[in-house]
A and B are shown apart, each in its own frame.
Chain A
Amino acid sequence: MSIMINGAAMSLPEDPRVSLLDLLREHHHLTGTKKGCNQGACGACTVLVDGERIVSCLALAMQYEGRAVTTIEGLADGNELHPLQQAFIEHDGFQCGYCTPGQICSAVGMAAELKRGAPSNVTGDLSADTIAFSRDELAERMSGNLCRCGAHNGIIDAIGATFAARPEVAA
């Protein structure tokens, strides 16, 4: 039984109670994924599973056998930061940095949802083929990721600058 994490096959835990979050942090020392509430309310533990964003604290690790997980540690290409990581620095999209990995992973997943035309609560025209990367769309779709330092403006600016201005950036 194994799971692909950032491209490498890794072992799954024997204890069925272990969450995907704790598997990452405690078993494989991938501590970039953060624990903020352990009940799916803050988004700090967001990772990508086969490209979809999930809160890893509410996922039992065993259920992800054979799946491909991308964490914050897997986004950069070696020393080359992902464009969104670079944009977070440029736009000051964080202060303490604790919610940051979750915000970044969530935004990558969110951009893919938006690009394939999945509507949100603020989408005006539900039948439209494409949805604009408007400020409200981004803010609505990122509202599951809490930030307490108050870097919200920088986060949305960074996401907008990365995906809205440069739609070619792979999500």
Chain B
Amino acid sequence: MNIVEQATKVTKTAAQGLMKKAVELAPDSWIPGGNPDPLIRQQHGHVGKPVSRLDGPVKVRGAAPFAAEFATEGLVYASVAFSTVAKGRIATLDTATAEAAPGVVLVMTYRNAPRLKPMPAFMSAAKAAGGDSLPILQDERIHWNGQPVAVVLADTQEQADHAKSLIHVVYEAEAATTSFEADKARGTEPALFQGELMKVEIGDAETALAAAPHRVDATYRTPRHNHNAIEPHAATVSWNGDELRVHDASQAVVHTAWSLAQVFGLDEKQVHVTSPYVGGGFGSKTLWQHQVLAAAAAKLAGRPVRIALSREGVYRMVGGRSLTEQRVAIGAGDDGHFTAIVHTGVTAMTRHNAMPEPFIVATRSAYAADTFKLDVEVVHLDMLANTFMRAPGEAVGTFALECAIDELADRLGMDPIELRIRNEPDKDPTQGTPFSSRHIVEAYRTGAERFGWHNRAAPGTRREGEWLVGMGCATGTYPYYRMPGGAARITLTRDGRATVAVAAHEMGMGTATVHTQVAAERLGLELDQVTVVYGDSTLPGVVLAGGSQQTASMGAAVIAAQHALVGELLKLAGNDSPLAGLKPAEVGGLDGGLCKLDEPERRESYASILSRAGRDEVTAEAEAPMPLELQHWSMHSHGAMFCEVRVNAVTGETRVSRFLGSFDCGRILNPKTATSQFRGGIIMGLGLALMEETQFDERKGRVMNPSLAEYHLPVHLDVPAIDVIWTDIPDPHTPMGAHGIGEIGITGTGAAVANAVYNATGKRVRDLPLTLDKLL
């Protein structure tokens, strides 16, 4: 983005500031969530029950179809060739041998690819889903090391892969910017995230820091990460005339359909994207070049195409989390009161995406302080576009912030939990808005007792044989989001069954199960009377499975749709019903029908209403209100994370022996699936802490460990039994009183581990991952 574009965005942001102020000052009742969702009061229904996953049986049988598993007549298989230089042009390209190889149907390069528009980059428009905005096989230019340069289609995958190996490319390389340090030395630019400058200045933090009687000031580094969903990105794609059909692995079906329509010059209705099962996403399963390549090749060849990226292919063409270098400095008085918080630093992105890793987001709302200086700067590298990965910003930002707090507590000789509680804010410290729900202190108190925090010894003093043992804690936090565009359709039939349709996604979060529980309770039905359909771009709503917002988005949309449905039913019920004269807001679902909320004996069954009206079914569709609540309140989830590690004094090996996450995330809708989500985030956080790193060759701009053998994930033996508890205090201003919980588990976890390692060894490592060489 150039400086003019940046300035335009900033001006727009200023105009939006007035609107924002008005929303902040509006009475609660004008704001979505101002009147608590009636479901919060109901404590004995389906919500809150540990229901096993409804899609469990098909998954354990291996009968759930994923994107690369849709059989189609005449299918051909794709194989992708990747560039081996970071910048330059293709000088010679010899595809003749490949074209003549057995089974080959097409070799597509920039010479014969159809003319395509670039993908709209994620966050450049409401429904933009593209990982980058670069030309796709449109010219001989190379923009990153690993860029697709050719696609082979053949009758079998073996034939396609072999033919790809016969393509001969000679590059004319140009000087590329691939070194973070070198580019940083040339100067950085301010980061814009979601149209907002990643900069906060309140008071004079540097002066306050210099004057503080106690301070810490250190630099923390986090490397690149890859999502590594076990299902590699894949799509099965076909054309029917001008209609494009995509069986995708997607956490953004509507965004993907719209974005593909822009690329191919179609109406978004001409693109149909479905994704009933997704083998893990974590931010990566959006639109990348492979779906475009498959669709273009399918068009050119006139055949349906299966593109299933190799694991290396995922590393070459699907971006991950970028690296960060963060300074955190905190000044404190003798009583531990924060006089200054400085959190600044640099991350790398590209010129073709809009995603600076926003590592200060958590710091904006975490602690009270007299002064703040927060700033994210970026450098632009010639590399594969980085992207969102589980808790973008918070996962790595809380590592730096929460380690710094631990260091300060150590310096003050104060318990780190007490230091945090002492700086607990009574309103959002940088926005000034009230918190909608914040019970982190309670989560700490309960967690500390359960974990046995009082047993923590002085750093480096507890040893069992070869093993040094230590405990650490940290705060995890993630915002409550609800994005615009939520919508839902409810169809109720005379036999008392309901189908709830939302273009949402099930990647393992438990969406289908939990929203069946929620809808059943709202409608007054049993679980087996409700079907939730999702994963289809033709369904209502623009619902990203990202930002931990899907539950909120679906929750608000279903509230709106149910309201509309009740309105329809009351009309149908007419004057002969016990419900006659009631308004939709006075009515709720109960025992297979509607009743007056505060007078449940005034009730009529759905079957009775529909029979009398001579109707087989009734359908209502509605959109959720704009998410103004996000500006009216400061809305966040929290977790108190406790870790015990054992560090081998001889080898430096770190083993996590115990972990507890004590969460404050509103009302928990399903304890079984919620526990898995919390643990899943924590386990990815253990990986971030101890082993994960996408190794990037700064000379060549190439990822050097594009494999699950060389990028280390936590395996079974690395994962202890993880204890998870929660406050279960509903947020009065959210649908169901709930918060999304997909991302919070990874936040704070890295710092909890690093703080425990410090407590065990007396060594402070500020450079992730905490591998054994750093402890020797």
Contact = CB atoms under 8 A, between A and B. Distances in A.
Interface of A: 15, 17-18, 22, 25-26, 29-42, 44, 71-73, 76, 81, 85-86, 88-90, 92, 94-101, 104, 122, 135-136, 138-140, 142-156
Contact of B683 (A22, A26, A89, A152): A152
B17 interface: no
A135 B719 CA distance: 11
A162 B536 CA distance: 37
A88 B721 CA distance: 16
Contacts of B507: 95-96
A69 B186 CA distance: 60
B57 A42 contact: no
A100 B59 contact: yes
Chain A CB count within 10 A is highest, among B56, B230, B717, for: B230
B65 A95 contact: no
B60 A104 contact: yes
A156 B707 contact: no
A92 B714 CA distance: 19
B69 interface: yes
A41 B314 CA distance: 15
B717 A143 contact: yes
A17 B683 CA distance: 37
A104 B60 CA distance: 8
A87 B17 CA distance: 53
A38 B68 CA distance: 14
Interface in B56-112: 56-66, 68-69, 71
Contacts of A76: 61
Contacts of B60: 72, 81, 85-86, 88-89, 94, 97, 100-101, 104
B158 interface: yes
A37 B226 CA distance: 14
| Highest count of chain B CB atoms <10 Å: which of A15, A36, A148 | A148
Contacts of B69: 25, 31
Interface stretch (B18-26, B118-126, B277-285): B277-285
A96 B230 contact: yes
Contact of A97 (B508, B680, B681): B508
Nearest to A135: B721
B509 A95 contact: yes
Contacts of B745: 150
B10 interface: no
Contact of A148 (B66, B673, B675, B713): B713
Contacts of A90: 52
Which among B62, B672, B673, B708 has the highest number of chain A CB atoms within 10 Å? B62
Nearest to B507: A96
Contact of B680 (A30, A37, A99, A151): A151
Query: Chain B interface: which size bin?
Result: 35 or more
B3 interface: no
A15 B158 contact: yes
Most interface-central of B60, B158, B277, B675 (chain A CB within 10 A):
B60
Contacts of A72: 60-62
Most buried by B among A36, A101, A135: A36
Contacts of B266: none
Among A22, A92, A99, A122, chain B packs the most CB atoms within 10 A around the CB of A92
B707 A150 contact: no
A148 B228 contact: yes
A150 B715 contact: no
A42 B708 contact: yes
B527 to A, nearest CB: 15
B709 to A, nearest CB: 4
B677 A140 contact: no
A89 to B, nearest CB: 4
Contact of A92 (B63, B676, B681): B676
A112 to B, nearest CB: 18
Contact of A155 (B71, B280, B672, B716): B716
Contacts of A148: 227-230, 280, 282, 684, 713
Contacts of A35: 68, 232, 308
A79 B216 CA distance: 62
B99 to A, nearest CB: 20
B65 to A, nearest CB: 7
Nearest to A136: B717
A95 B676 contact: yes
Contacts of A154: 676
A156 to B, nearest CB: 6
B62 A31 contact: yes
24 contacts: A17-B162, A26-B157, A33-B62, A34-B230, A36-B311, A39-B311, A41-B708, A71-B62, A72-B61, A73-B62, A73-B63, A85-B60, A86-B60, A92-B52, A92-B672, A94-B53, A95-B508, A96-B231, A96-B279, A97-B55, A138-B716, A140-B716, A149-B680, A156-B716
A97 B64 contact: yes
B303 interface: no
Interface in B40-55: 52-53, 55
Contacts of B683: 150, 152
For B61, B71, B162, the residue with the greatest tally of chain A CB atoms inside 10 Å of its CB is B61
Contacts of B651: none
A92 B311 contact: no
Contacts of B116: none
Nearest to A25: B69
Given A32-B62, A151-B680, A143 B716 contact: yes
Interface in B140-167: 156-158, 162
A63 to B, nearest CB: 16
B679 A139 contact: no
Contacts of B162: 17
A26 B306 CA distance: 11
A142 B716 CA distance: 6
Given A42-B708, A89-B52, A96-B229, A153 B719 contact: yes
A95 to B, nearest CB: 3
Closest 4 CB pairs of A and B: A32-B62, A95-B508, A150-B680, A98-B279
Contacts of B52: 89-90, 92
B539 interface: no
B61 A85 contact: yes
Nearest to B715: A143
A32 B64 CA distance: 8
A35 B707 CA distance: 13
Interface in B470-528: 507-510
Given A34-B230, A39-B708, 7 more contacts: A35-B232, A72-B60, A94-B508, A96-B229, A98-B231, A142-B716, A153-B719
B597 interface: no
B691 interface: no
B722 A31 contact: no
B708 A31 contact: no
Nearest to A159: B716
A38 B55 CA distance: 26
Contacts of B58: 97
Nearest to A72: B62
Which of A22, A35, A38, A142 has the most B CB atoms < 10 Å from its CB? A35
A17 B79 CA distance: 16
Contacts of A92: 52-53, 672-673, 675-676
Nearest to A100: B59
A87 B194 CA distance: 43
A147 B677 CA distance: 13
Given A95-B508, A148-B229, A153-B679, A38 B65 contact: no
Contacts of B65: 31
Contacts of B230: 34, 36, 42, 44, 96, 98-99, 146-148
Contacts of B719: 139, 150, 152-153
Contacts of A142: 716
Contacts of B660: none
A96 B508 contact: yes
Nearest to B306: A26
Given A26-B157, A85-B61, A143-B716, A150 B676 contact: yes
B738 interface: no
